[in-house]
Amino acid sequence: MPERQLRTCPYCGEESLQLPAHIRSQCEHLPATNSRGEVVRDE
């Protein structure tokens, strides 16, 4: 069984074992992305 690792969310700094799931479900700081998954920045 692979060792579980805490990873820090790049958007809000919260640590999560399930970072992709955290970003999809919980992180309120998720930036807008386009259909290719690239971050879209409003400047």
pLDDT tens-digit profile, the chain (43 residues): 567 788 888 877 888 888 888 777 766 665 666 667 676 665 4
Instruction: Count how many domains the chain has.
Output: 1
Q: Does any domain span residue 39?
A: no
Task: Answer whether 0.95 is exceeded by the pTM.
Answer: no
Q: Supply the range of the domain harboring residue 23.
A: 1-29
Is residue 6 classed as helix, strand or coil in its secondary structure?
A: coil
Whether 5 is covered by a domain: the verdict is: yes
In a domain, 8, yes or no: yes
Burial 15-28 (b: 16+ CB within 10 A, else e): ebeebeebbeeebe
In this structure, is residue 7 part of a structural domain?
A: yes
Q: What is the pLDDT of residue 12?
A: 77
Comparing C-alpha atoms, which of 35, 28, 37, 33 is closest to residue 9? Answer: 28
Nearest CA to 14 among 4, 5, 6? 6
